[in-house]
């Protein structure tokens, strides 16, 4: 009985090993596929196929603190772009496929 239990434990350890390897952090400098909470991607907006609908993009931009979102369009790089206001100032805002919301002052 002890041998069976020991063999099962060893087998479980070997089977579970790949799962541990998948959770190892990636330190090779590549950008993650999704935004992580409380982090800012310095390369945002990141080009890529967006799965956000227009309504979802507008909602996400508004939840990031922007108002009066107008002219929302998906560009050729998969980034949603619009005009908006924040703190009473007009800005150009972008939402990438990772969920990063960035803005620039209007010129």
Contact, 88 vs 102, CB < 8 A? Answer: no
- For residue 48, the model assigns a pLDDT of 84
Q: By three-state DSSP, how is residue 2 classified?
A: helix
Which residues, other chains included, contact 70 with Cβ-Cβ below 8 Å and sequence gap of 6+? Answer: 82, 83, 84
Would you write out the chain's pLDDT as a tens digit for each of its 107 residues? 666 665 555 555 555 544 444 444 444 555 555 555 555 666 678 888 888 999 999 999 999 999 999 999 999 999 999 999 999 999 999 999 889 999 888 76
């Amino acid at each position: 009985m002890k041998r069976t239990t020991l063999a099962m434990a060893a087998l479980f350890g070997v089977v579970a090993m790949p799962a541990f390897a998948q959770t190892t952090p990636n330190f090779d400098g590549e950008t993650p596929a999704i935004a992580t909470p409380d982090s800012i991607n310095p390369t945002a907006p990141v080009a890529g196929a967006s799965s956000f609908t227009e309504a979802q993009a507008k909602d996400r931009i508004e939840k990031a603190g922007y108002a009066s979102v107008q002219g929302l369009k998906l560009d050729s790089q998969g980034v949603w772009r619009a005009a908006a206001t924040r703190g009473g100032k007009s800005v150009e805002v972008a939402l990438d496929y990772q969920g990063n919301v960035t803005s620039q002052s209007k010129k």
